[in-house]
Amino acid sequence: MAAAAAVGTRVSRLLGRSLPQQGRPMSSGAHGEEGSARMWKALTYFVALPGVAVSMLNVFLKSHHGEHERPEFIAYPHLRIRSKPFPWGDGNHTLFHNPRVNPLPTGYEDE
Amino acid sequence: MTHQTHAYHMVNPSPWPLTGALSALLMTSGLTMWFHFNSNILLTLGLMTNSLTMYQWWRDVVRESTFQGHHTIIVQTGLRYGMILFIMSEVFFFAGFFWAFYHSSLAPTPSLGGYWPPAGINPLNPMEVPLLNTLVLLASGVSITWTHHSLMEGNRKHSLQALLITIFLGIYFTLLQASEYLEAPFTISDSIYGSTFFVATGFHGLHVMIGTTFLTICLLRQLKFHFTSKHHFGFEAAAWYWHFVDVVWLFLYISIYWWGS
């Protein structure tokens, strides 16, 4: 703190303007300078949230709802591994099982 | 001498470390009972006692600081070190899962077909919902910075508004990920791809939920006027944790979602 005050004094002498003698160089991390909240508010409403909105639009445009084509079932041994039953239900369904897109080790449930 | 002559906080005796340790024992043995003996009573008890411990312990910290004034500068410095060390330990926790992912994906075994993603795996398109998730978390990083500056400038209305936006973005991320989990054509049991994907993103999602909870507590405390413009370490700790969660996602996105597809 003393070193910072010394720097502040030297700087104000060099610049010849009114840096407060006890003032330390303001960084937006350490202490809120007046107006920096306004900048972050602007960034939130004009950059961050519109960015999210554009990305939402992108997802919507790219989504094909009610797709009927799904990959044919091939009983690869490295997929649908069941070394031990799951501790829920019948022990054969993963936690986020979706019958439309997740086949069991024996194939799709609705075929 | 009937008063302390130093600025440290000698905490009064508390039962919560013991109840926390006991809850950890109940949760671990409970998991064993659930996995192997089809019983979830120990686990349920463990989760309940764990939640009660956390609630009461942290309620006491708020009482000691906001209401009893024990958090001097030097106490706060200790808490800062503590939070930083904790977050560092979490970094190492995730480092393990990233190690597992790169170990498996840089040299895919013959049983996977010798390539990555393995045979039969259709990875998620990184330019769809995962990209949205990335922007959601980045946006929440901006709004939480707005929150902090509003707090420091003493602007109550704005700090509440910005914190609310941050929390909503966190919830939105969790909902998007849940929907991704339900729609994914691959599962956790689909080779080492499924294991690394769901364990890494799953623990990340858990941390998002923890971070969102932490931020919600900050919102409630700010509503009750606990924070001042100069002293709000609880919020700063939540903000550091939130940025950490965001950075982990960025690594996940680049490594697993993008490079790994």
* Complex confidence, ipTM: 0.91
What pLDDT was estimated at residue A17?
47
- Interface residues of A toward B, Cβ cutoff 8 Å, are 28, 31-32, 34, 36-37, 40-41, 43-44, 47-49, 51-52, 55-56, 58-59, 62-63, 70-71, 74, 76-82, 87, 94-98, 101-102
Please list the pLDDT of chain A residue by residue as tens digits (111 residues). 555 555 445 544 554 444 445 555 554 444 545 789 999 999 999 999 999 999 999 999 998 766 667 889 999 999 999 999 999 999 999 999 999 999 999 999 987
- The string of pLDDT tens digits covering residues B31-58 is 999 999 999 999 999 999 999 999 999 9
pTM of the model: 0.89
Domains parsed from chain B with CATH numbers: 1-70 (1.10.287.70), 73-258 (1.20.120.80)
Residue with tokens 């942290």: B58
Q: Crossing angle of helices B191-223/B73-106, nearest 10°?
A: 160
Tokens of B69: 């004034």
**For the stretch B40-62, what's the b/e string if a residue is b when 16 or more beta carbons lie within 10 angstroms of its beta carbon?**
bebbebbeebbeebeeeeeeeee
How many Cβ atoms from other residues are within 10 Å of residue B94's Cβ? 18
Instruction: Report how far residue B81's alpha carbon sits from residue B85's, in angstroms, rounded to the nearest whole number.
Output: 6
Mean pLDDT of chain B: 97
Find which of A28, A55, A64 to mutate to test the B interface (most B CBs within 10 Å of its CB).
Answer: A55
Task: Find the residue in A nearest to B122 (Cα).
Answer: A71
Mark yes or no for CB contact B131/A55 under 8 Å. yes
Pairwise CA distance, residues A24 & A7, whole Å: 8
User: pLDDT, tens digit, for every residue of B81-91?
Assistant: 999 999 999 99
Mean pLDDT of B250-256: 98
Which residues share a beta bridge with A104?
Answer: A107
